[in-house]
Amino acid sequence: MQRKQASDFDQKVLDLYDEFAHGRMNRRDYVKHLRTFAVGGLTIEALVSSLSPNYAWAEQVKADDPRIRTETIGYESPKGGGTINGLLARPAEGNKFPAVLVIHENRGLNPYIADVTRRLATDGFLAFAPDALTPLGGYPGNDDDGRAMQAKRDGEEMTQDFIAAAKWLDASKFSTGKLGVVGFCFGGGMVNQLAVRIPDLVDAAVPFYGRQPDPADVPKIKAPLLIHNAGLDQRILAGAPAFEAALKENGKSFEAFVYEGVNHGFHNDTTP
């Protein structure tokens, strides 16, 4: 299938996909509303397919890339889901590296997040991406089922899973003791939570279009933040002014970027 860009679609179509992808619309209603835009020889099946993830587009670094070493490991999350599995990637040469915890979207450790983890390893980082779906059997192989599974997990338990992951990664024999966290969508919100919940552990935080923490919790943050938001993402942008005002009032180090004309999820290169 030829890859389409966001500009190839009516913005209302992209908004419908966003509603569906974030669990605010079921698949039946999603397809029903999309039918309005299946015109001019475009079938509804083709339209749905063109909006769905194509994991081949995300693969920039193959699993067997000689520049890196990868392995699946399990770590203990006693206050969360028990033993949680994840992908660990590091440069092939060297002994210790700055560490980055990679936090997935609302659908588990899919091929896109796995590739992001490998990309970080090629840039010299020790990168670790836990799969919050581990207690339910792990990422199921497609995002639709992954979203449904993640919605069944308790939010605080998942937070504890990522706190435990941060502690495990920071203590790794391959880590220099410097820890950054990066996340996307659900993961972006989790990055903000970790900056609040474990401020003495997080050295840098990079949330992509993530839900902001309560402004009252901002004084707890110690890490500098690099915030990325989409100009068309009104849902997330609605909380940005209060968050950024609280960061300024409390003298926190941060940079915030809004990319005009792009939608929520723009870093995910498996979709338009």
Using left for φ > 0, alpha for ψ between -120 and 50, and beta otherwise, residue 138 falls in left
Residues 184 and 161 both lie in one domain: yes
> pTM here?
0.91
Q: Does 33 have pLDDT greater than 60?
A: yes
Number of domains in the chain: 2
Q: How far apart are CA 187 and CA 104, in angstroms?
A: 5
C-beta of residue 114 within 8 angstroms of C-beta of residue 194: no
Amino acid 41: pLDDT: 67
Q: What is the mean pLDDT of residues 184-207?
A: 99
Residues 164 and 45 both lie in one domain: no
- For the record, the structure tokens of 247 come out as 């960061």
C-beta of residue 90 within 8 angstroms of C-beta of residue 174: yes
At 73-117, the pLDDT tens digits run 999 999 999 999 999 999 999 999 999 999 999 999 999 999 999
Amino acid 3: pLDDT: 63
Residues 63 and 189 both lie in one domain: yes
The answer to whether residue 46 sits within a structural domain is yes
Task: For the beta carbon of residue 192, count every other beta carbon within 10 angstroms.
Answer: 25
Residues 11 and 70 both lie in one domain: no
C-beta of residue 196 within 8 angstroms of C-beta of residue 217: yes
47: DSSP letter: H
* Degrees to nearest 5, angle at CA 234 with 229 and 237: 45
Order of strands, edge to edge, in the sheet holding 254-259? 68-77, 82-91, 126-130, 97-103, 175-184, 204-208, 225-230, 254-259
At 125-161, the pLDDT tens digits run 999 999 999 999 999 999 999 999 999 999 999 999 9
Residues 79 and 165 both lie in one domain: yes
The answer to whether residue 188 sits within a structural domain is yes
Residues 80 and 199 both lie in one domain: yes
Residues 140 and 215 both lie in one domain: yes
Residue 38: domain span: 6-52
Pick the most confident of 56-60, 199-203, 260-264: 199-203
CATH number of the domain where residue 117 is located:
3.40.50.1820
Q: Which residues pair with 129 in a beta bridge?
A: 87
Pairing of strands 68-77, 254-259: unpaired
272 pLDDT band (50/70/90 cuts)? Answer: low
- Mean of per-residue pLDDT scores for the chain: 94
Q: What is the mean pLDDT of residues 37-47?
A: 78
The answer to whether residue 218 sits within a structural domain is yes
2 pLDDT band (50/70/90 cuts)? Answer: low
* Degrees to nearest 5, angle at CA 102 with 210 and 62: 125
